C-alpha cells in the first residue's frame, strides 16, 4: 500500500509565488532589461544611453556632494548617484564596491568601540554639522518666515 502523495506532503510545500503569483516589480524589471538590451544592440543608441545615464548619475552625485555638509542624506544621495552610474560603467562599480566595503568596516569598527568612544564620535559629528549649518545661515541669512528669537541675536544671525 502506497500512501496518497498529496496527504504525505507538508501543508506549505509551495513557494509564495504559487500562492500569490509573481512579484509585480519582476515584470517591470524584466521589461526594462529587454528594452535596455534592444537599446544597447545599436551602437549609436548605446552611446546616447550611456551618456544620459552617466550625466544623470553625475548630476545626482554632485547634488549629494553639495548636501554632504548639511544635515540630511547627502552621502546617501552620493551613493544613489554612484549606483546609477555603476549600472553602465565598470569604474563606478569598483568605486561603489570600495565604498560599501569601507562603510561596513567603519560600522564594525565603531560598534566594537566602547560606548564613550561612540558618543564622542557622535558629538563631534553633531558639532561639525551645527557649525556648518551656522555658517550657511550666516552666509545666506535666515528666511523671513523664521520668528524673531533672541538666540538669533546672540548668534548674530539677524
Q: Work out the percent of the chain whose per-residue pLDDT is above 90.
A: 37
- Cα(57)–Cα(85) distance, rounded to whole angstroms? 5
Q: Pull the grid cell for residue 53.
A: 545615464
Residue with cell 544611453: 49
Instruction: For residue range 67-83, list pLDDT tens digits in order.
Output: 887 777 888 999 999 99
Tell me, what's the pLDDT at 70? 74
Instruction: For residue range 82-95, list pLDDT tens digits in order.
Output: 999 998 899 999 99
Q: Averaging pLDDT over each range in 1-10, 17-26, 110-119, which range is the top one?
A: 110-119
pTM for the complete prediction?
Answer: 0.62
Q: Using 50, 70 and 90 to split pLDDT, how confident is the model at 32?
A: confident
78 closest CA partner among 96, 91, 59, 65: 65
Per the model's pLDDT, the better-predicted residue between 94 and 25 turns out to be 94
Q: Pull the grid cell for residue 29.
A: 524589471
Do 90 and 50 meet the contact criterion of CB atoms below 8 Å apart? no
Tell me, what's the pLDDT at 128? 85
92 burial via Cβ count (<10 Å: 0-12, 13-18, 19+): buried
Per the model's pLDDT, the better-predicted residue between 29 and 145 turns out to be 29
Tell me, what's the pLDDT at 31? 85
Amino acid at each position: 500500500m502506497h500512501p496518497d502523495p498529496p496527504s504525505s506532503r507538508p501543508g506549505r510545500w509551495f513557494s509564495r509565488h504559487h500562492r500569490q503569483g509573481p512579484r509585480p516589480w519582476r515584470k517591470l524589471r524584466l521589461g526594462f532589461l529587454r528594452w535596455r538590451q534592444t537599446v544597447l544592440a545599436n551602437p549609436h543608441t548605446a552611446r546616447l544611453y550611456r551618456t544620459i545615464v552617466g550625466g544623470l548619475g553625475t548630476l545626482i552625485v554632485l547634488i549629494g556632494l553639495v548636501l554632504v555638509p548639511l544635515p540630511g542624506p547627502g552621502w546617501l544621495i552620493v551613493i544613489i548617484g554612484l549606483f546609477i552610474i555603476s549600472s553602465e560603467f565598470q569604474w563606478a562599480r569598483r568605486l561603489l564596491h570600495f565604498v560599501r566595503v569601507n562603510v561596513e568596516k567603519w560600522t564594525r569598527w565603531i560598534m566594537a568601540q566602547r560606548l564613550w568612544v561612540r558618543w564622542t564620535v557622535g558629538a563631534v559629528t553633531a558639532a561639525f554639522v551645527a557649525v556648518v549649518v551656522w555658517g550657511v545661515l550666516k552666509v545666506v541669512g535666515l528666511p523671513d518666515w523664521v520668528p524673531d528669537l533672541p538666540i538669533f541675536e546672540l548668534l548674530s544671525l539677524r
